């Protein structure tokens, strides 16, 4: 039996998505920038996809910029705003405090690393907000962190590791009440198919989404940029995507992404119903395995996410043993899986270093069945027992 429970890392391509893509991998291969019928065929497909994605987000098509994935979209949002602000300051020749950005300690690396880079280059000042033991932002802390020089707040909508969902509407109200000119960007890569992406209801100025988390192709994403929000490109060499993302568009990928977005919307209720299976899984884990901890809020989390710390063993050893049994899950996030350091997201919850090392993430998918979960529940306790028997480390439950 092969059981895939790593759907927050990536999903397989939906057959309907692949079917939509195939013509643009074969006979409809034109360059969207070419002024002939083959080019127009490709351009029409890109613009149709843009309208489809815009329809899901409840925005105008020209507010959608296609990118090479969520990481690129996050970089474009953060660096694009900072570049524009610094150019504006130079143009008026005035002395201002450095632009201030607020984010959190549990963001995706494509937010945290770019923020560190910009601060190191002395282009910005960064405030990283703490979260509580459940992974939720302290909204009073956010309010206190806002300054006259704050230009941007970037918050992950649903965390990629612990699945915790932030109250974006409330966050938006706090920010806009302080200063309506402060921009709010959210990373919604994990939220697609589970939560509303209506940018008007959420009250966001920029939003990152991507394809590989919603049964679409890898290497495709988009950044919503609200009309009136000006950003600068971070790459150069072409006029594509309103001059903000140069390079020939990945037509087949964009078509597949749009199709995946439409299917995800139709599947939203079904995806939310995964919460029953998730709750069953969590309940049974606590029954069968002593000394474990649920990471993240019990209910304010994505319906497919289970992240637990199993004490007295390391997550990497668990992954390898589960892999031998045909069970595929992760420890920490996929983007940081090359590191043996414990997850900074789990550490931000106030969990001990040792407990964070034993974290395990299971993320259910559309096709996950109860019999698969029951198989994991049968196999996992014995693996935990075997590993604990040979572990030199014994720690108290945190």
CA 81/CA 84 separation, integer angstroms = 5
Which tokens go with 367?
């096709």
Query: What Cα–Cα distance (Å) separates residue 60 from each residue in 77, 220, 227?
Result: 18, 19, 9
Q: 3-state DSSP call for residue 321?
A: helix
Closest CA to 354 of 288, 294, 310: 310
DSSP codes joined into one string, 332-361: S-GGGTT--SPPHHHHHTT--HHHHHTEEE
DSSP H stretches of helix in the chain: 15-25, 37-57, 70-92, 109-120, 139-145, 168-178, 199-202, 251-266, 268-272, 274-288, 315-324, 344-348, 353-357, 370-390
CA 109/CA 387 separation, integer angstroms = 31
Q: Which of 59, 128, 329, 335 is catalytic?
A: 335
The length of the chain, given as a count of residues:
398
Which tokens go with 75?
């970089």
- The maximal CA–CA distance of the chain, rounded, in angstroms, is 69
CA 296/CA 163 separation, integer angstroms = 7
128 among known catalytic residues = no
Q: Which residue has the tokens 């945190």?
A: 398
How is residue 258 annotated by DSSP?
A: H
How is residue 235 annotated by DSSP?
A: S
Helix orientation angle between 274-288 and 370-390, rounded to the nearest 10 degrees: 30
CA 145/CA 236 separation, integer angstroms = 34
CA 110/CA 160 separation, integer angstroms = 12
Give the active site residues: 335
């Amino acid at each position: 039996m092969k059981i895939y429970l790593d759907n927050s890392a990536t999903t397989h391509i939906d057959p309907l998505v692949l079917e939509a893509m195939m013509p643009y991998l074969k006979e409809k291969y034109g360059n969207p920038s070419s002024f002939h019928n083959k080019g127009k065929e490709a351009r029409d497909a890109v613009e149709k996809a843009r309208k489809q994605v815009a329809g899901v987000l409840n925005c105008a098509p020209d507010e959608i910029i296609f990118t090479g994935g969520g990481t690129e979209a996050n970089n474009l949002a953060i660096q694009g705003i900072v570049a524009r602000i610094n150019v504006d300051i130079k143009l008026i020749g005035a002395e201002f405090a450095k632009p201030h950005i607020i984010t959190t300690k549990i963001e995706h690396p494509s937010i945290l690393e770019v923020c560190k880079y910009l601060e190191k280059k002395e282009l910005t000042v960064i405030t990283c907000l703490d979260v509580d033991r459940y992974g939720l932002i302290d909204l009073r802390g956010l309010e206190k962190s806002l300054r006259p020089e704050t230009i941007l707040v970037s918050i992950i909508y649903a965390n990629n590791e612990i699945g915790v969902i932030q109250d974006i509407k409330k966050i938006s109200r706090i920010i806009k009440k302080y200063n309506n000119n402060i921009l709010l960007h959210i990373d919604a890569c994990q939220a697609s198919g589970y939560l509303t992406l209506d940018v008007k209801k959420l009250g966001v100025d920029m939003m990152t989404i991507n394809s590989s988390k919603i049964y679409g192709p890898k290497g495709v994403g988009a950044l919503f940029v609200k009309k009136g929000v000006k950003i600068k490109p971070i790459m150069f060499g072409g006029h594509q995507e309103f001059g903000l993302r140069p390079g020939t568009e990945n037509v087949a990928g964009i078509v597949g992404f749009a199709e995946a977005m439409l299917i995800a919307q139709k599947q939203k209720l079904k995806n939310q119903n995964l919460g029953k299976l998730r709750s069953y899984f969590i309940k049974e884990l606590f029954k069968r395995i002593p000394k474990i901890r649920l990471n993240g809020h019990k209910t304010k989390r994505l319906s497919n996410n289970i992240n637990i710390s199993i004490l007295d063993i390391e997550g990497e050893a668990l992954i390898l043993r589960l892999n031998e049994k045909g069970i595929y899950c992760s420890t920490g996030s996929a983007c940081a899986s090359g590191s043996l350091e414990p997850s900074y997201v789990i550490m931000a919850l106030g969990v001990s270093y040792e407990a964070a090392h034993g974290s395990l993430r299971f993320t259910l998918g559309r096709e996950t069945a109860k019999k698969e979960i029951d198989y994991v529940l049968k196999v996992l306790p014995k693996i935990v027992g075997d590993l604990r028997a040979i572990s030199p480390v014994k720690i108290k439950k945190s």
